[in-house]
């Protein structure tokens, strides 16, 4: 099976699962995001730390899960219902430091930093998703987060198609030291496809916003999505790996699939919430 077919099939399965999680039920969404986030934290630990301090990695996974669940309960049901989860969050974080004390390494502080980095890099962005999906009225609107995914997917497709067609042989390299295959042509393709998706989404208007806001969101996601991809490329080069995992044939790991979202979505979500506030 060639790479393009593998990439297409695994991408199709991924999109179907995301659609089911975002559109059917809030608990299904929470479960899907918890699983995705957990796999990504695991991939990061395997890439950066290997088998070092397994207990620290376990408590890091636990802390990430608690951050997401606290955000989900707080935004969906109220801070009163989330108060016990809020009290629990510091426990695994303290436990991580305790495990560090009982491990030896010439680069102990650096390794300890890698235990905490996924909380900022992965868990916090995922926790912010809930501020978009959970409406202040108490209703679940996963379609609002789906809107950002559609813009990101359109950007990825544009970058891939235009980059392969015009940027590989005679194109202008975007950041050759970090990602030799990325080109300025592909970057422009990402922006153009995202803008086209923004126009189509305005016709549907799941965010109930003016066209200009869909275009701004498309631009933010295209630009910062590429930045997220480059950031992950820096990490993979630093750790000497090609992909973060093998769960998605043709794509790599889930961290490879979500790299753009981890940087672009928090910015886009803040923008959407700011616009809602201005409208109100």
How far is CA 190 from each of CA 180, 265, 271, rounded to the nearest angstrom? 17, 16, 20
- Looking at residue 104, its pLDDT comes to 81
Task: Quote the pLDDT of residue 280.
Answer: 45
pLDDT for the residue numbered 255: 92
| Segment-wise mean pLDDT, segments of 10 residues, the chain, 280 residues | 70 88 92 96 95 95 97 90 90 95 86 95 96 85 95 93 75 76 85 96 94 97 94 90 80 88 96 79
Query: Any residues with CB less than 8 A from the CB of 165 and at least 6 apart, and which?
Result: none
pTM: predicted TM-score of the whole model, two decimal places = 0.92
Q: What is the pLDDT of residue 195?
A: 97
Task: Please give the C-alpha separations between residue 143 and each of 104, 146, 193, in angstroms, as whole numbers.
Answer: 47, 5, 20
Q: By CB neighbour count within 10 A (0-12 exposed, 13-18 middle, 19+ buried), where does 280 fall? A: exposed
Every domain of the chain and the residues it spans: 26-139, 142-280
For residue 171, the model assigns a pLDDT of 65
**Rounded Cα distance, 177 and 124, in Å:** 29
């Amino acid at each position: 099976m060639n790479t393009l077919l593998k990439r297409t099939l695994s991408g199709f399965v991924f999109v179907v699962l995301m659609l089911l999680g975002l559109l059917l039920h809030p608990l299904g969404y929470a479960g899907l995001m918890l699983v995705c986030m957990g796999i990504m934290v695991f991939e990061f630990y395997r890439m950066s730390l290997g088998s070092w301090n397994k207990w620290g990695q376990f408590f890091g996974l636990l802390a990430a899960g608690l951050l997401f669940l606290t955000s989900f309960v707080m935004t969906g049901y109220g801070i009163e219902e989330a108060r016990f989860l809020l009290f629990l969050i510091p426990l695994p974080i303290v436990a991580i430091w305790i495990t560090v004390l009982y491990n030896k390494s010439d680069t102990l502080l650096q390794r300890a930093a890698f235990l905490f980095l996924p909380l900022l890099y992965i868990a916090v962005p995922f926790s912010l998703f809930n501020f978009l999906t959970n409406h202040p009225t108490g209703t679940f609107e996963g379609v609002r987060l789906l809107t950002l995914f559609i813009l990101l997917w359109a950007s990825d497709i544009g970058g891939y198609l235009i980059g392969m067609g015009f940027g590989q042989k005679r194109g202008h390299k975007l950041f050759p030291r970090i990602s030799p295959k990325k080109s300025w042509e592909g970057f422009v393709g990402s922006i153009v496809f995202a803008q086209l998706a923004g126009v189509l989404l305005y016709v549907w208007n799941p965010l109930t916003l003016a066209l200009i806001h869909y275009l701004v969101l498309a631009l933010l996601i295209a630009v910062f999505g590429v930045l997220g991809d480059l950031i992950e490329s820096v990490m993979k080069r630093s750790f000497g790996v090609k992909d973060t995992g093998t769960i998605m044939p043709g794509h790599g790991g889930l961290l490879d699939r979500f790299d753009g979202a981890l940087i672009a979505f928090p910015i886009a979500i803040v923008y959407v919430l700011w616009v809602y506030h201005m409208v109100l």
